[in-house]
């Protein structure tokens, strides 16, 4: 059993720590792009041990998300058709937690807006969902870090955040990449950056994945801070010169109208690559009430999974708290979800 991500990819998390991949659940380690080179991470005892386990057809604990997906007949990250190599040629970069949105499925390590909201909630005597960071806003992506990455035989770079369009040093990194490099972004479509547009037009292949969990005003609730009409206009601008796709996160919040998202993409000849939310598990489709599950689309493999009733209570508690704080209410945007959870 092999995994190209382990063999040919360098993944850097939002805080600069190296990771096995975007799906992995390894414990915190000492390897950070600020203190170690990518080669040192790839040659570490931990990384080599994981690769050896896979070679023995053993699932490492850190890879249990892919294992669970494959056991349910779903395509895991490991199985996706991507050609990497030779060498450490693919970069997966989470460029910090700078983000202008507060998506319900996200957390403070991936969104500075959520981190800042947590501070405000704590000051107001309200317990935040994810705790409070000492430094709400962090960004490892500077010229020194990029220098370490540019020593690699790069043929593809995937960049997300946070929201990558907000990263100050990103233009300088793009300027130094070969035009033959495949560039992939994941963006929430809320920011249009003319300077980045100009830089990106030099590359032969630019792929924009839009994090759109709805294709109408329902996204204003699910991805809090979005204004749908502005996001849609920015998506059209990127589509003018990039290859684009929609990459929705499928959760309890939107699985009941997945077909609407797919239809929107199909009408524009855009691909769609859904990401089934795995955490937080109170938003996982398997834990939805049966009344709501009956309306789900595109998640058949999870329909017979027994729901954890404690997670349903956690959903109600968390959504009630967020709605009260943000003054946006689930019953006004997602009526079937509100009804199923008794929040209407």
Helices (H), 169-287: 170-176, 194-200, 219-222, 228-239, 258-267
What's the pLDDT tens digit per position in 75-129? 888 887 666 768 999 999 999 999 999 999 999 999 999 999 999 999 999 999 9
pTM score of the predicted model: 0.92
- 66: Cβ–Cβ under 8 A, 6 or more apart, which residues? 3, 23, 76, 77, 78, 79
More confident residue, 173 or 78: 173
More confident residue, 165 or 85: 165
From the number of C-beta atoms within 10 Å of its C-beta (0-12, 13-18, 19+), residue 309 rates as exposed
Helices (H), 36-149: 38-42, 45-55, 64-71, 112-123, 143-149
CATH architecture of 4-280: Alpha-Beta Barrel (3.20)
Check residue 170 and give its pLDDT: 94
From the number of C-beta atoms within 10 Å of its C-beta (0-12, 13-18, 19+), residue 31 rates as buried
Q: What is the mean pLDDT of residues 165-178?
A: 94
> Mean pLDDT of all residues in the chain?
94
What's the pLDDT tens digit per position in 117-136? 999 999 999 999 998 998 88
Each as own residue / partner, the long-range contacts of residues 35-44 (CB below 8 Å, 24 or more positions apart, any chain) are: 37/148, 37/151, 38/10, 38/88, 38/148, 38/149, 38/151, 38/152, 39/88, 41/10, 42/10, 42/88
Is the pLDDT reported for residue 159 higher than 70?
Answer: yes
Confidence tier at 37 by pLDDT (50, 70, 90): very high
SS3 238: helix
Is the pLDDT reported for residue 52 higher than 80?
Answer: yes
Match 């998640």 to its residue by tokens. 299
Give the dihedral sign, CA 298/301/306/309: negative
**Cα angle for residues 52, 23, 340 (degrees, 5° grid):** 145
**Cα angle for residues 329, 330, 331 (degrees, 5° grid):** 95
**Of the listed ranges 51-55, 136-140, 209-213, 225-229, the one predicted with least confidence:** 136-140
Confidence tier at 71 by pLDDT (50, 70, 90): confident
251: its two tokens: 């959760």
């Amino acid at each position: 059993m092999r995994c190209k991500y382990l063999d040919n990819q360098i993944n850097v998390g939002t805080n600069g720590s190296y990771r096995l991949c975007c799906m992995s659940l390894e414990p915190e380690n000492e390897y950070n792009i600020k203190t170690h080179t990518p080669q040192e991470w790839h040659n570490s005892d931990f990384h080599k041990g994981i690769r050896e386990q896979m070679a023995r057809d053993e699932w490492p604990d850190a890879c249990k998300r892919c294992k669970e997906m494959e056991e349910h007949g779903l395509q895991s990250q490991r199985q996706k058709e991507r050609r990497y190599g030779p060498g450490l040629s693919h970069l997966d970069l989470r460029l910090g937690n700078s983000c202008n949105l507060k998506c319900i499925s996200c957390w403070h390590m991936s969104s500075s807006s959520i981190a800042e909201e947590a501070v405000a909630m704590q000051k107001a005597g309200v317990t935040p969902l994810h705790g409070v960071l000492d430094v709400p806003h962090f960004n490892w992506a500077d010229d020194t870090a990029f220098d370490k990455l540019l020593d690699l035989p790069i043929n593809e770079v995937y960049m997300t955040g946070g929201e990558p369009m907000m990263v100050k040093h990103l233009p300088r990194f793009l300027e130094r990449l070969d035009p033959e490099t495949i560039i992939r972004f994941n963006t929430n479509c809320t920011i249009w950056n003319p300077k980045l547009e100009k830089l990106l037009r030099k590359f032969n292949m630019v792929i924009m994945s839009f994090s759109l969990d709805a294709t109408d005003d329902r996204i204003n609730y699910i991805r809090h801070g979005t204004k749908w009409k502005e996001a849609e206009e920015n998506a059209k601008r990127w589509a003018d010169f990039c290859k684009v796709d929609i990459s929705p996160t499928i959760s309890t919040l939107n699985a009941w109208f997945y077909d609407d998202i797919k239809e929107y993409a199909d009408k524009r000849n855009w691909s769609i690559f859904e990401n089934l939310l795995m955490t937080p598990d109170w938003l996982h489709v398997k834990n939805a009430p049966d009344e709501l599950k009956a309306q789900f689309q595109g998640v058949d493999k999870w329909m017979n999974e027994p729901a954890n009733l404690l997670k349903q209570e956690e959903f109600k508690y968390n959504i009630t708290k967020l709605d009260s704080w943000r003054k946006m209410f689930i019953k006004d945007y997602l009526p079937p979800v509100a009804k199923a959870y008794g929040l209407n």
